[in-house]
Chains A and B, each alone.
Chain A
Amino acid sequence: MKYHCPKTFADAAQIAADATGVIRYLAGGTDVLVQMRAGMVTPDDMIDLKHIPGVKEIVQNADGSWTIGVAVAGAELGAHAGFCADYPGIVEGLELVGSTQVQGRATLTGNLCNGSPAADSVPAMIAAGAVAHVVGPNGARDVAVADIPVGPGKTSLTKGELISAFTIPARGAQGGDAYLRFTPRTEMDIAVVGCAVNLTLDGDRVASARVAMGAVAPTVIVMDQAADAIIGTTLDPQALDTMATIVSGAVKPISDKRGTAEFRTDIAGVLAKRAAKIAYDRAKGTK
């Protein structure tokens, strides 16, 4: 295995484009190192992105939006008061990935590109409408985070393409988000179901909302109908029940070692209700 430390994304893309064997990018490394030791993947080229300027930066842009570098670890994102205030749901999603130790390394980029439908930070990114900046041999493009994963372990990125940063829209007034997942233990598990809700309020009523569910389909899925069920409401119990019913009706989970399809279906609605309430309270500024 060759270990590369490019200084620019263009160089990184070039190395990847020129490679003839298996390549892996190294940001946090918390997935790829596990896969290497387990013999699941043996990269020929390992491209470490952490020497590229800016990859560790969290920047709030003039319009209030946020740009997050690809090597920002969970612990770094969680320590950023400004971002935490705007998008606590994204932070709590990333912070649920693994232990405190894993938080020292794990990144939004890695969590996304690993392609797991159960990735904890992805639903909140999608619910927030985050955009990935992609560079590649044919130039740069912006892709909605929702469009990056295409199936378990698969992304829409083509050979030589890699993510250079994320932009998350400005929070704006009266907005809030939340991510909840269900795991058998309190920590250290993969989500059996994950749910992110991002919403804005107009007074007491929900003005806009996005609901994204993890681990209930081959990729994280956005549930517009579920969001519609709470838009215009004060998130009263009936609206929440309606949303929960829609969520549980729309998910298409599998049964595996982590939970049965029936169980996932049941708790998807429960989590959606609970996450929506937290997001609502945050938007109201009551929590």
Chain B
Amino acid sequence: MAKDTANELRIVGTRPDRPDGLDKVTGRARYGADISAAGLLHGAVVRSPHAHARIVKIDASKALALSGVKAVVTRADFPTGLTGEAWDLQENTMAGERALYDGHAVAAVAATSAQLARDAAKLIEVEYEILPHVTDVDAAMAPDAPIIREGAADHSVPEGLHPNVVRYIEFGHGDLEAGFAQADIVREHQYKTEAAHQGYIEPHACMGQMGADGKGEMWVCTQGHWFIRKMCTQVLGLDASQLRVTPSEIGGGFGGKTTIFMEPLSLALSRKAGGRPVKIVMSRSEVLRATGPTASASMDVKIGMTKDGKITAGSATFRMQGGAFAGAPVDMALYCAFAAYKVPALQHVGYDVLANRPKAAAYRAPGSPMAAFAVESLVDEMCTELGLDPLEVRVKNAAQSHETSSFGPKFGVIGLNETLAATQAHPNLSVPLGPNQGRGIASGFWFNHGGDTSVSMALGEDGTVTVSIGTPDIGGSRASMAMMAAETLQIPYDNVRVNIVETGALGVNEPTHGSRATFATGKATVEAAQSMIVEMCKRAAAKWGIEPEAVEWRDGAAHPAGPNAGEYPPMTIGEIGAAMSNTGGPIAGHHESVPAGVGESFGTHVVDVEVDPETGRTTILRYLVVQDAGRAIHPAYVEGQYQGGAVQGIGWALNEEYVYDDMGRLQNPVFLDYRVPVASDLPMIDTVIVEVPNPGHPYGVRGVGETGIAPPLPAVANAVAAATGVRMRHLPITPSKLLSAIKASKNG
């Protein structure tokens, strides 16, 4: 059995070098665009410059006349008759009758060089009839809004709503009116956030090859290659088993690489070009225009609070657009909205709304940052009004283990109390602040996902172990899997090699998403190791002629136990490996399941800012992340998740946004104007890892990857309010907006 207390662990909780470190500091690691093959063609995609337009005609004759141009595909090359989410994916891959957003793919071309493919793409003539468009979520719900697609709503939507409302969410508990009646103050405000992009530095890239026999190969940067397989084959009408997908190293994803964009185009082009491999690498502007940003949100929140800071009731009505397809994370936003609080009466209402923007993809704790911004801003406003300490109010109302959550079911073991206590104890809270400086505090929450998980593990002839997993390593997860395998097998960390294997080599795996890799793949790795231990004990028992149950595994060896203890010398894993051919053949372990026992994670952030009152620019002075990890397998990579999440949230709070012009065209599709934080914008990001073990994981792991992006949005807004006296309810808090608000407050 796995050890379950920290002081018995030898490897878990230490900070070994990651197994892929050498490859990644020497340039040897191969990412999506780093592949080549004999006969390689390069693909380029023609994209709509219009937010909404009927495609009248596509004429590729000039492109095809260029020497070296091998194939052009349009929607006519795709199968028809798809429905539901499969149709959405196909339509997003390549526009059909209408282009639905600026950047929507309308044709693709393959040629013998990337330069030639780009030249050819420019020669493909597309005739459009421009249609009315809408990009703002509130405008998209207004009665006169152009209808983006009739009949797109699912069964959750009550009658009488605009056809652009495609999903309706409503849940809650308790007597709302009674709750508000018990409050001393009831406040209600509207909050807005703009769409932000995941901003991974590696643009999407793939190489697809498919012959006339329908058998295909794909190399792709993705968070989940089985998702790529499923989606590509759905969109192209192929059998899943006929496409083998090999994941490259992945240059960041944050949820944005859990779905398909141009991947099916490489296969379609390859098939049309006689089976030659086709590589497509997106430009940065294609990434920003056509891959998943997250939703923009418009949110009404109402909270009732007593004078001593008890929250008596709350309601949240969220509207989010996630582009021209269903899928804005309004449901998840609502699930997270009040998760940090124990509130007797809550109501949640959500609208998933279509708009002429790119199809939203998941982005780190989808929905949670917007929800946190709205709820945690309002709680802060009410604390200020009542003269209460915002951290104490959070302690007073904190959600508790084994009690009903804001979203319905009871929580299991959660670590919010411990997180808040660690925050209160941190020295950053007692640093004195100067003029124009302010401190902001906010909490956040995210779930942890199980999901389809397959792991296999094989013993080598020398007693070293190979682990095959299906969740791509974005942030050091090879290290944590190797650590958990080594811990369970009680062998050295260096004796384990973890490989992320292609779709043909394992059962289905969901992507590295939902903060699941270390939890789910980790749990399956431990299970696989345990099944291998059972087999190794059997081999030892057979040699010794005793019952397998009379053998125990410790220190990387089989030991006779019970009445036989000490009777035979232990058999090490190396001896078992060396002998396995003669003791029954190869030894391997494997595990397939949807792991249960997920562990949610709460975090609390504290930020100090300084605002230049003459320019409205906000500077982050210091930043603290406190979050429950359950147990940190590799603490350095847990800290890295906290720090990275915090900085993405800071970017969203201050500068990142999708800016559309009157024509619905994205105005800032380059990193110069889509302003992710740069090194000089930031201080060090202090972290505290709280460890309240998740009883559902053998080592206590919770999902840690996502929670950290939620608190920064409200924490920064709360700090700005403390520094300036001005409450910003619409992110990002750009200097322009903040200066204008400061001026208005002085004049008012």
Chain A interface (Cβ < 8 Å from any Cβ of B): 37-39, 182, 184-190, 192, 256-260, 262-263, 266-267, 270
Contact = CB atoms under 8 A, between A and B. Distances in A.
Interface string B646-690: 000000001100010000000110011101011011000000000
B680 A263 contact: no
B681 A270 contact: no
A263 B285 contact: no
Contacts of A260: 736, 740
B615 A185 contact: no
A184 B739 contact: no
Contact of A188 (B285, B617, B672, B739): B672
B736 A257 contact: no
B734 interface: yes
A39 B615 CA distance: 35
Contacts of B740: 260, 262-263
A37 B677 CA distance: 24
A258 B670 CA distance: 13
17 contacts: A182-B615, A182-B617, A184-B654, A184-B675, A184-B735, A186-B678, A186-B680, A187-B678, A187-B680, A189-B675, A192-B736, A257-B667, A259-B736, A260-B736, A263-B735, A263-B740, A267-B735
B323 to A, nearest CB: 20
Contact of B285 (A38, A187, A257, A267): A38
Nearest to B671: A188
Contact of B617 (A184, A190, A258): A184
Given A257-B667, A257-B668, A259-B736, A267 B614 contact: yes
A21 to B, nearest CB: 15
Given A185-B655, A270-B615, A258 B673 contact: yes
B500 to A, nearest CB: 32
Given A267-B614, A267-B615, A270-B615, A185 B678 contact: yes
A16 B322 CA distance: 50
B118 interface: yes
A39 B675 contact: no
Contact of B677 (A185, A256, A258): A185
Contacts of B659: 257
A218 to B, nearest CB: 19
A188 B670 CA distance: 12
B721 to A, nearest CB: 19
Given A182-B615, A257-B659, 12 more contacts: A182-B617, A184-B675, A185-B677, A185-B678, A185-B681, A187-B680, A192-B735, A257-B667, A257-B668, A260-B736, A263-B740, A267-B739
A260 B616 CA distance: 13
A263 B737 CA distance: 8
Contacts of A190: 672-673
A12 B236 CA distance: 53
Contacts of B671: 188
Contacts of A185: 655, 675, 677-678, 680-681
B736 A263 contact: yes
A38 B615 CA distance: 33
Contacts of A184: 617, 654-655, 675, 734-735
A266 B615 CA distance: 8
Interface string B585-617: 000000000000000000000000000001111
B374 to A, nearest CB: 23
A43 to B, nearest CB: 14
For the complex of A and B, list the 6 residue pairs with the smallest distance between their C-beta atoms, beginning with the closest. A263-B736, A186-B680, A257-B667, A270-B614, A257-B659, A184-B655
Nearest to A263: B736
Contacts of B681: 185-187
Contacts of B743: 266
A188 B678 contact: yes
Nearest to A188: B678
A188 B674 CA distance: 11
A278 B468 CA distance: 61
A39 B655 contact: no
A185 B651 CA distance: 10
Nearest to A184: B655
Interface in B535-586: none
Contact of A39 (B118, B667, B668, B734): B118
Contact of A266 (B655, B667, B673, B739): B739
A99 to B, nearest CB: 9
